[in-house]
Amino acid sequence: MPLRRGATPRTPPAVRPRPVSSAAEIDAGRVAKSRARSARDIPDWMRIVLNGTVIVVFWNHLWFSDLSDRSLLEAAESGSLLTQATFIGLGLAMGAALWRLGIERLRPLLSWPILLCAGWLALTILTSVEPLLSIRRSILLLIAAMLAAGILVVARSARQFALTLAGSALIIVVSSFLAVALVPHLAVHSAFDVQAEPEHAGLWRGIFPHKNEAGSVMVILILVGLYVAATASRFYGWTIVVLSAIFLIGTNSKTAMATLPVILVVTGLTQVFRGGAMRVLLLVAPILAFSVISIGSVFIPPVKDLLEAILKDATYTGRSEIWQFAVENILNRPLQGWGYGAFWLTERTMYGSATISTWVNSARHAHNAFLDAALTTGLPGLLFALLAYVYGPLRDLSRIAAGRTLDPTLMLFVRLWLFAMISASFESVLFNGNNPTCCMVMLAIFGLRLRTEHALVSR
């Protein structure tokens, strides 16, 4: 625009140069940031104690169960006060640690498969036949999930994580051996057990309530020992492997003993065949095979005939009766299910029908995680569970290590995941926060998820 006559031209404002930070100011800023990080840090001894306690509780928190106690035959809707107090206390401690370290570190866990599964589970709690019972039992699962994720954040490094696992493993396996030697009436199955078959007499269970649970934990300890040997200490790692293998033989847990070599062979092959599709096929094949062998023995006649010709007990010690009973009740409520934790060991199941055999009405779960998911959360819940427990981890693994070998931490996560998925054909390990395999598979799934964003417990 032209100036008016007599007007004085306006001088443009001077541009102030941006001050250049001195070396001293830069150093001061770095020191301030370092102090801020230190203020939110947790001492190593606190990290180890917290994680070690959580891991031991995951593996077993009800030591020296007296299986001759006839009160075990009663309905257990009220739950264990010791279990509830233990998990609530650890949940508060882990919550405080996560708040101090930064709760935002858990943000990668908000993936759509996990959110869909959690959202549907919450919805079925509201439609449960026993809503209060479902809410109470779901709180335990929620705390267990938070603890599993918290372990990965609290661990400062892979070495610290491995050493914490090693200490926890030695506590469990050494205590189990001492229990068998010093208090055999509380550590070895006998003919007086009210919740075990007579043929279990003489089999080791150590500090665990059942030889099958002891066997599952011993497999987990063997996998942990291999990780410790590869990451922190060969001596401690192989000591854990040998002791756990000996105790596993003493349990004579057939499912655990049959599963272990499959896991080691399949995960070993994933180091050779590194292509995404081939690796996924290797990991999915045994899951499908065990599913067909278990449920197929009941509902697929050719499979049933083949197993009867090969196996001495094609009913898997009476599990087929439970599976048939579970399927019948899935069909009664196929959409919403009966509600989380609101079916087994309730008065409806135990005393609702005089025609149900004792083995079925005293069962604690369906002895098949996929059937239990459909039974308690409906068929949509089963679909969402498969997305969260199978599709999600395989997708994350492909993103992390497609075409590359698996480092020891990734290998541990994959082995724990595969063990749980195979065990799901014979035990309820997907939505049971009171089960060691369930807790460890949540840790494995969360570990794979977090590794897609951060190098947690990988340094």
pLDDT digits (tens, 9 = 90+) for 347-376: 666 665 544 445 566 667 788 999 999 999
Predicted confidence (pLDDT) at residue 163 exceeds the cutoff of 70? yes
Predicted confidence (pLDDT) at residue 301 exceeds the cutoff of 80? no
Residue 232's pLDDT band, with cuts at 50, 70 and 90, is: very high
CB of 180 closer than 8 Å to CB of 204: yes
| Unique residue bearing structure tokens 């994580």 | 161
Q: When comparing pLDDT for 178 and 189, which is higher? A: 178
- The alpha-carbon radius of gyration of the chain (Å, integer) is 26
Q: Which candidate, 357, 384, 356, places its Cα nearest to that of 370?
A: 384
Least confident of 17-26, 56-65, 111-120, 214-223: 17-26
Average pLDDT over residues 414-422: 97
Average pLDDT over residues 413-431: 94
Predicted confidence (pLDDT) at residue 39 exceeds the cutoff of 70? no
Average pLDDT over residues 199-206: 87
Give the pTM.
0.87
Q: What is the pLDDT of residue 147?
A: 97
C-alpha dihedral, 128 to 361 to 297 to 433, nearest 10° = 50
The percentage of the chain sitting over the pLDDT mark of 70, rounded to a whole number, equals: 81
Q: What is the pLDDT of residue 458?
A: 46
Least confident of 45-54, 79-88, 333-342, 394-403: 79-88
Residue 306's pLDDT band, with cuts at 50, 70 and 90, is: confident
The percentage of the chain sitting over the pLDDT mark of 90, rounded to a whole number, equals: 59
d(CA 231, CA 235): 11
Average pLDDT over residues 288-315: 76
Q: Per-residue DSSP letters for 162-193?
A: HHHHHHHHHHHHHHHHHHHHH-HHHHB--TT-
Least confident of 4-13, 236-245, 266-275: 4-13
Predicted confidence (pLDDT) at residue 322 exceeds the cutoff of 50? yes
Predicted confidence (pLDDT) at residue 9 exceeds the cutoff of 90? no
d(CA 351, CA 374): 22
> From the centroid of its chain, how far is CA 346?
25
Tens digits of residue pLDDT in 67-108 = 766 555 555 555 678 888 999 999 999 999 999 999 999 999
The rounded mean pLDDT for the chain is 85
Q: When comparing pLDDT for 345 and 92, which is higher? A: 92
Q: Per-residue DSSP letters for 184-253?
A: HHHHB--TT-TTS-GGGTT-B-TTSSSHHHHHHHHHHHHHHHHHHHHHT-HHHHHHHHHHHHHHHHHHT-
d(CA 338, CA 378): 8
Predicted confidence (pLDDT) at residue 415 exceeds the cutoff of 50? yes
| Cα separations in angstroms, 222 against 168, 238, 240, 252, 381 | 13, 9, 7, 16, 32
Average pLDDT over residues 21-34: 51
What residues pair up with 204 in beta bridges, in sequence order? 188
Residue 162's pLDDT band, with cuts at 50, 70 and 90, is: very high
Q: Which candidate, 247, 129, 135, 251, places its Cα nearest to that of 202?
A: 251
